[in-house]
Amino acid sequence: MDAETIENYKKAGKIAAEALAYGKELIRKDSSVLDVLNKVEEKIISLDALPAFPAQISMNEIAAHFCPEDDDSLVFSDQVVSLDIGVHIDGCIGDNACSVDLSGNNPELIKASEEALKAAIEVVKVGVKLSEIGKAIEDTITSFGFQPVRNLSGHGLDLYNIHSSPTIPNFNTKDNAVLEKQVIAIEPFATTGAGLIQEHGEPSVFALMGRKSVRVGFVRDILKKIESYNGLPFTTRWLTKDFSAAQVRFAFNQLKQLQILHEYPPLVEKNNGLVSQAEHSLLVDDEVIVLTKV
Ligand code: CO
């Protein structure tokens, strides 16, 4: 990685952390979920960066990939709330997340994912087995009496690629693959449920998976907008700023038929257990740097 790329990762990480701290403060009883997400994305743009994926708020048994549409009236009440924010500068991504317990009844669940993240970061270095990182996460979460979510994992952060290799497991996979010099995100999820998530419900997060041409004028315009995200995930509400909901729906159907629209449906805990999440991005080199710090 050249010096400029490293600098961009550092900047993106710092802005992601600022946006996360800002968004976390906005999560309060009776405020609008959509409003918080819009404000977080505006904040990212005001800091001269772009969202690497739609800011997401997943609550209670939903672990990830929940993104309200722009007519959604959902408000916070007493949920366990996870806020996941990605930022990029020229494709260099910073990814981080935190959870807030608005009920006041689940402080340990929040702590379990936070402590698991700390324990994982402590073992990170070039050459460490990925399963060692997973073990640190699993041991910490189970010590709190919860389960790690086994089929969600941390990941590499390549240029314009939010989920590159390696997979950083949230449990001890016992395999021997090791960490190399790269940028990664570690994201433990702790749950009161079984520790497995499954896709459930209608997606509002998507990514474009290749290039094809379309005939209809407004579909072409929508596709052009989507191509400007460079393969990074986007959400319906970003497009309905400039196009009608019916046009966007029509365009999505076309892109699906052309098999270039990847869908990310909400991920829900199998036993409807509550889920908390914590996440940091790290630059792994001779020295390990947590990138997503203010
Ligand atoms: Co992530």
User: At residue 283, does pLDDT exceed 90?
Assistant: yes
CA-based nearest residue to 250, from 222, 284, 286, 289 = 222
Could you tell me the distance, in angstroms and rounded to a whole number, from the CA of residue 92 to the centre of ligand 1?
Answer: 13
Q: Compute, in angstroms, the gap from residue 164 CA to the centroid of ligand 1.
A: 10
Let me know how long the chain is: 294
Q: What is the pTM of this model?
A: 0.96
Rounded CA separation 178/171 (Å): 15
Alpha helices in 27-173 (DSSP H): 33-46, 107-123, 130-143
Measure 118 CA to ligand 1 centroid, in angstroms: 16
Q: Is the pLDDT assigned to residue 193 strictly greater than 90?
A: yes
To the nearest whole percent, how much of the chain has pLDDT over 90?
95
186 alpha carbon to ligand 1 midpoint, in Å? Answer: 7
Q: What's the Rg (C-alpha) of the chain?
A: 19
How many angstroms does the Cα of residue 218 sit away from the middle of ligand 1? 32
Which of the residues are catalytic?
84, 95, 155, 163, 187, 279
How far is the centre of ligand 1, averaged over its atoms, from the C-alpha of 113 (Å)? 14
Q: In this predicted structure, what is the pLDDT of residue 66?
A: 87
Render pLDDT for 125-184 as a digit per residue (tens, 0 to 9).
Answer: 999 999 999 999 999 999 999 999 999 999 999 999 999 999 999 999 999 999 999 999
The 3-state DSSP class for residue 72 equals coil
What are the pLDDT digits (tens) for 21-61?
999 999 999 999 999 999 999 999 999 999 999 999 999 99
Judge whether residue 294 has pLDDT over 90.
no
How far is 227 from 232, CA to CA, in rounded Å? 9
CA 163–ligand 1 middle distance (angstroms): 7
Measured CA to CA, the distance from residue 111 to residue 278 in angstroms comes to 9
